[in-house]
Amino acid sequence: MMFRKCFLLVFVLLVFETRRSSSQNTSQINRGSFPKGFVFGTASASYQYEGAVKVDGRGMTIWDTFAHRFGKVADFSNGDVAVDQYHRYLDDIQLMKDMGMDAYRFSIAWSRIFPNGSGNINQAGIDHYNNFINALLANGIEPYVTLYHWDLPQALEDKYKGWLDPQIIKDYAIYAETCFQKFGDRVKHWITFNEPHTFAIQGYDVGLQAPGRCSILLHLFCRAGNSATEPYIVAHNVLLSHAAAVDIYRKRYKSKQNGSLGISFDVIWYEPSTNSTDDIEATQRAQDFQLGWFLDPLVFGDYPSSMRDRVGDRLPTFSNTEAALVKGSYDFVGINHYTTFYAKKNSTRIIGNLLNDSLSDSGAITLPFRGLKPIGDRASSIWLYIVPRGIRSLMNYIKQKYGNPLVIITENGMDDPNDPFKSIKDCLKDEKRIKYHNDYLTNLVAAIKEDGCNVRGYFAWSLLDNWEWAAGFTSRFGLYFVDYNDKLKRYPKDSVQWFKKFLTTT
C-alpha cells in the first residue's frame, strides 16, 4: 500500500513537472538532436494499404467480412483496393528513400501466408513478401515487420471463433514460425501484435471493429458476444500467443538470425482531472486497464492488482508455467501514442451496470475535456487532441514503472479530414501536421536526453493517406496525399519536405 501511494505521488509530480519543462523547450530539432543510431521511419498495415484482397491466393479476413457489412464503415468503403501497395510497393519504397527514412514498419497478412489460417502455405504470399523485403533492403530501408495487425483469417473465426479459443495460440505460433523461417534471415525486428487493447475492446466489447462482437443493449447492436468477459479472454490468448512466438524464436532462430521481438501497444496518456486523491487513483486505474493490462504480464508476470480486484473471476489467470513464459517475453516495447486525455473517478455505476462491459470496470472516466475546455487543439478524428507534452510524460511513466525498457514509438501522427471541396494544392499545405511532429519529437528528445528514457526509434503514422478502419477514407493521416479519384496518385504534402530537411540535418 505504501508503494502504491508513493508511486501515485510520483505520478502526479511527473505530470506537472513535464508540463512545466515541456513548455520551456521550444528549440529547433533535427536528426542530429537524437542519439546516434536512432531510427526514423513510417508505418502501415496490410489491410489498410495492400488491397488486392483476391489476388495470388490470399484468403478472406475478418476485416473483409466486417467492412462489407452495411453501416460498419463511415463512408461505406472497404479495403478491397485500399491504396494498392501490393502492386505499387516499389514506387512507395522510392518515396521513403527520397524522404531519407531509415525503416518501414509494415504488417504481413496472415491470410496471404495461410489462406485458411492454418494448413497449406501459399507460396505466392511468401514470394510477395520476399520481394517486398528485398526491395526495402536494396534501397537501404530496414524492415520492421508486424505479424498481426488485426486481419485474422476468416477461416479461423468460422472454425472456432478466433481469439476466443485457445487453439489460436497454436495456429498463431505456426504462422509466426513460418515467417521466421521464410523471412528471418533478413528481418531483424519483429512486432508480434499491433494494439491488442484496441482490438480486444473495439472488436469484443463495443463491437465497432471486426469481428464486431458485443452484448451491449441485449445484442441490439451486435449479433453475438459478451462484453463483460470476451475482451479479457481475447487479451489472455493474445498474450499467450505472443509469448509462444517469442519462445520459439529465442529457442530456434535467435542464435542464427540475431533479431529482436517486441509488441506494440496503443497508449493514451492520462492526466488527473483534478488533484484529488480519487481522480489520481482513477487515473492510475485507467492506465492499468490500458497499458498495464498487457505490459504488466510481460514485465511482472501477472495482470495489475487493480484489474484483479475489480474484474474478479472474469479475468483469466496464468498458470505458473504460463506466467514464466510471458514474463520477460520482449526485447523492446512498441508504443503507439497520439493523444492525451483527462481521467477522473466514475462516481456512478449506472452506465456501467446498464452496459455491463469491460470498459466500465476501471471505475474511471476518460475524456479530452475538463468542463467544456478541450485538453488541446483537435485533429480530424474525434478522439485525437494534440497534446505534445503527453509523450514525454508517458516515456517517463514507462521508465519509472517498468524499469526503463527499450521503447520504440511505433506510431505517432495526426489526421486531416478528407474534404471533397478542397483542392489538392490546398490539401498539401499541412502546417498543422508539421507542427504536430515537431512538437511531439521535441518532447520525445527531451525525454531521452534530459530524463534518460530508453527510446530508440520513431515511426510516423503514416507514409500515405490510407483506409482508416471504421473511418474508411474520411481521415487522412499520410505524409503523402493519395488522390482516390485519380488512380491513387501520390502527392507529397509539405510535411514530406519538412521530414526531408529534418532527416538530412545533423
Helix axes 167-183, 230-252, angle to 10 degrees: 40
Beta-carbon contacts of residue 274 (< 8 Å; ≥ 6 apart): 344
Q: How many helices, marked H, and strands, marked E, lie in the chain? A: 20, 19
Copy the grid coordinates of residue 29.
Answer: 530539432
Q: What is the Cα–Cα distance from 264 to 198, expressed in whole angstroms?
A: 11
Q: Which residues pair with 374 in a beta bridge?
A: 369
50 is known as an active-site residue:
no
Q: Which amino acid appears at position 132 of this protein?
A: F
Copy the grid coordinates of residue 371.
Answer: 468542463
Neighbours of 320 (CB within 10 A): 8
For Cα atoms 76, 65, 79, give the angle at the middle one, nearest 5 degrees. 50
Instruction: Name the active-site residue from 271, 322, 411, 468.
Output: 411
DSSP strands (E only) in 294-435: 332-336, 340-345, 364-367, 369-370, 373-374, 377-378, 385-386, 407-411, 416-417
Is the separation of the CB atoms in 405 and 287 below 8 Å? no
Q: Strand, coil or helix: what is 6?
A: helix
For Cα atoms 215, 216, 218, give the angle at the middle one, nearest 5 degrees. 70
Instruction: Name the active-site residue from 50, 142, 157, 195.
Output: 195
142 is known as an active-site residue:
no
Neighbours of 407 (CB within 10 A): 24
Residues with catalytic roles? 195, 411
